[in-house]
Each structure stands twice: as C-alpha cells, then as structure tokens.
Structure 1
C-alpha cells in the first residue's frame, strides 16, 4: 500500500515494484537494501530473495518483483491530492523490469491526475527511450492503452506522455553520474525534470555537463538549458529542481560542505529550485585550533578519519578557528545549510 513518507521532499511512497541491483558508488549503502532484508526476515513474501547477505550487509540480487494489484491500484482509491515518490524500494526503469509493468504504472498515474508522482532512476537511458516511445501514439505501444483501459480509463481520455502530473528525475552522486544521466533526462519528455544529488559524494558543476558526442565532448548548461552542438548551440529543456543531501547511517561517507554550497549557488544564480535535504551522519562544527590539537580531550574522538586516512577538517575560518566535520545523528546534524533551511519546490524559487 502507499504509506506516509519520512522523506522530506515528498508526501507518500508508492511501491508497485520491489528489488534492484547495485549500479554505481551511490548504491553502496542503499537504505532500501537493508529495509528489503528486514521485511523479508519479517515474512513479507514480496521481499523474499531480493537481497543476499555479504560482509558489508544485505546486497540486492537483481531479482525484481511486482506488488499485488491492490498496491498497484492504491492511488486510484485515494481522492485527496497527494504527492507520491514512486518505487522507493526499486527502480522503475531497471533492466529487469518488463515494459508491461512500466505501462501499468504509467496507466495508473494517467488515471489519477489529482496526484503528483515523483519518479527517480539511475537508468536514465531506458527512461529516455521508454518515454520517447510512449510520447508517440501508435499500435507499437498498445500495452499502455490496454493497461489504461483495463484500469477503467476511456480511450478518448488517454493522454500522451509527458503526463502533466509526473516528475522525472535521475540520481547524480558525483560529476561522472551527472554527465552520464542528465543529458538523457533533458532529452526525456517530462513535465518536471529534477536530480537527486544524494548521497552527494563529490563536487558537481551543473553548468558544465560533459555530453559525449560521436567524435567530441560538448559542454551543456543543465540549469539554463543551453545545449552546445559543435556549431554554436541552442536552448532546450533544463532542470526544474535540485535535491541535495549527505549520507546517513553506519559507515556513511562524508559530504564536504563546499559541495552543497556550490550547488546552492549555481541554482540561485539560475533561478532553479534548490532543496537541501540533510547533512546526514556528519555536520560542520567550528572549534578552535587549540581545542582540535590537544591530544587528550573530547574532540579527539570526534575527528573524522576517512577511508583514505584523511581528517574531516576544513581550512581555518580565521587565525584560530577550524571547521571540523563531526559525526552525529541525522536528526542532530539537521538540514540547515549556513543557518538557512532550503526547501524550494519547482515553480517557487524565492
């Protein structure tokens, strides 16, 4: 069933699918893998066999499974306008998801225009291909029509993609993922396009997205829509929303404060909505150099040692101050960036 979500940027989660597989470094500590393992241990048959144990904890097996028809059709029973994050426990465009399953989910979304749906994927190329195909009405895509009609829709009321109530996004944890996925996203028919830079594992410049061509690379600006083409350029679709957050939980990796600040500044300059979700397991704290350097005080245990042996310390703010990334709970770390809560949504960037 659809359930109220603790994710700060949505209202409810809707999981008509379950299961996934590890694709990039952002998947390393995926919360959904741990949750799927717990649900399987509780006897939830939908999640049985979706993960397997490893030294690092539960890992996806690559098995994908459909939830019940009751779960699939749950948004149709809810009349109150609701924002749904689609498939928090899976990836709608995973390579092991049949087109038929995607057709059914899009049919439900088409039949419930009172709701807003947020779809996030790491498989940007398949999302682009699917949405481009379904944006052209033809007998090749009768599966979408049949699902629409089977769930109570009238043929003459079937809308072509993009659906106005569906937001499409890609995960971009570092610049390489941004360069790979954002060009696909910008070519995908969508009412709203967004990225989720969570966990943010490195700096990202959205104004210099490298798009590989046949013989050369082009630099595109994802925030104002400028697309270079080797003969100058033109303006096309752009990002409408940028979500940023640090990693939380045991073994979380540190997010350098300069990374979310840079994305905030890029969005502010371009007038694009920016949402800072969380610091995660580490938050910046100012202390004196003397406090930091004393070998026998409480701060020694709070120095952050990364996998490469480096300390989580930033350059001095003044002659006698340092900023240390201190480990703490997600709640204690909070979601203030430079003492400001950033919770902008598409269409409202003030």
Structure 2
C-alpha cells in the first residue's frame, strides 16, 4: 500500500435505512467530528507560532539579527501558502482523518528538530518543512465542515470552529513565553512539538471521512437543505480533481477577488501576530511574560470577533457576508493608526488595542475563508 493509497477517501458504504438510527448517528458523529477538528486545528496553531514567542529569548541566546529572524517567518509563510494551495487540491481527494493527523504529527516533529538546532540553515529547513505541513490542517477542516454541516447552519458552525485559532493562539504566549523564561527557548519548541504529536494520534482515533463513508445520507438530503435547486444536481456529479480545479476554482473570478482580500487581511494579521511580541519587549519595555499576556488578548478578541462575524451576516445583513468584511477592515485601519501614535507603556491600554485588533481581524478572515467554499463546488472546498 502506497502513501497515496493510505490517504485516499474512505469508500461509501451501504446507506442505513432506519431513520431513527440515522438521526442518532448523525447527532453523534457531527459532535465528535466538530470537537476533534476544533482541538486539532488549535494544536496546529501551537506549532505554527511557537517560534514567534520564543524569538526574543532565541535572539539573546544565539545572537541572530532581526533580518535572519524575520526571514524564518517569511520562509514559513511562503511554504505554508504554497502548501495550502497544493495540499488543498490533494485534500479534495484525500481522507481528512489521516491527512490532517499526519500533518499535525509532522509539525510536532519539525518543532522538536528546530529546538535541537543552533545553525540558521537548520532553522530555515525545519521551519520551512513545518510551514509546508501546516498547510495540511485547513483542507481537512474545510472538507469536514462542508460535508457534515449544511448551508443554512454552516455559518454558525464555521464561526465557532474558527475560534480554534484563538484557543491555540491564546495558549501560545502563556505556554511558550513561560517555558522560554523558565527553561530556555528550546523547551518552548519541545513542549508544543510533543503535544502536537499526541494530538495527531488523537485525531486518527476521533475523525472519520464523509457521512456516506459511515452509511449516512449526504447532509443536504438529511436536513433537506440545498442552497438552491440547481446546485443539488451539480454536487451529486462525480468530477475529477482537474475538472473541479479548473471549472470551480481557477476560472471563478470571485475566488480570485477573495484571495486578494485574504492576502491583505493576512498581511496585517501576520504583522500583528509575529512582531507584536518584539515590539512590546523592545519598544514598550515589557517583560516576556507581560508581553505574552498582552498578546493573549489579541486571541481573546479574535475568539469573540469570529463568533460575531458568524452571527452578524445572518441577523443584521440578511445573509450577506461582504458588508461585514468591509466594516471590519475600516476598523482595522483606524486601530493601526491609533496603536502607532499611542504614547507610553500602559499594559491595560495596549492589551485593549490588541483585543480589538483580534476582534476585527479574525472576523473578516473567517468570512473570507468561508465564502469561497460556498461559491465553489462542495468537493472543491
């Protein structure tokens, strides 16, 4: 059996005819699938941002300059972005149970190897490989969310799942900064690495593929919930990966517009996320632990912002998601200006700014990630 055979989607099995059993199984598997991918994606974040909060200690120990440290972040981001695209194509034709789990285990392995290294070239290799396998988390979650939750409810489920970023992100500053302060920066890589290897084993145990692989009907039929009648026929067609990629992704102009929007929102998020720790330590003169507390509020704001972004379009804008994205980006621009000109070092004020950064950044990020999945074919999610 090859690796690709191992990753193939689970085959459909004979559909269960007992309606009561179908309802019982759907209730069980939807909950189990959700909490597993929620925990799994939160753990991905532990190994994606572990170095960010160990950087001040790492720099002091090894004497690397900021250009070298920033280049590590660039390498991770470039390979992560490339992986999200290419792994997304592979993920469409893979079993998320194994795809997501293997990716998480390997990110843990490369975090540990990074912690054992001291040369910049070794950092670059291991952090680049970490970035590549970070891209194995999102495709599995997108596939599970579109196969287990129907159109009319998906916004709420998606917004709650999106807070997994923030759970992981809120734990990182406290866990990593604490480890770095007490035991050195290497332990700030070892601990998240071990946790994520164990988390990958947990995902293999908890996750399954599509409802049909468990003898359940498609979610749209189970909940009688298709976004429009014409789509029901389209989404039951068997299409090749090439047909899905060309017809529903590469030639879809809305996907490209949203990709550009995601780039700019991601640029701001990465700048705040990756460099706020350095900024608070060097410009505001906070300790590692104080800076970690400040940055935790960025994730708390993101948690609440994601929930609000899932609720607002349905309640305030009649299901339209774009107005919410535009409003949030306007607030982000105001916050960027205010944070730069704010004088002094007040822990409460800086924490408040980071809270609102998170609130208005993670909302549009969640929506921009969700809208393409709804505009495209279900199997291209």
| Structure showing the higher helix proportion among its residues | 2
Whose RCO is larger (CA < 8 A, sep 6+)?
Answer: 2
Fold in common (TM above 0.5):
no
With structure 1 as the length reference, what TM-score do the two structures score? 0.22
With structure 2 as the length reference, what TM-score do the two structures score? 0.21
| Structure showing the higher strand proportion among its residues | 1
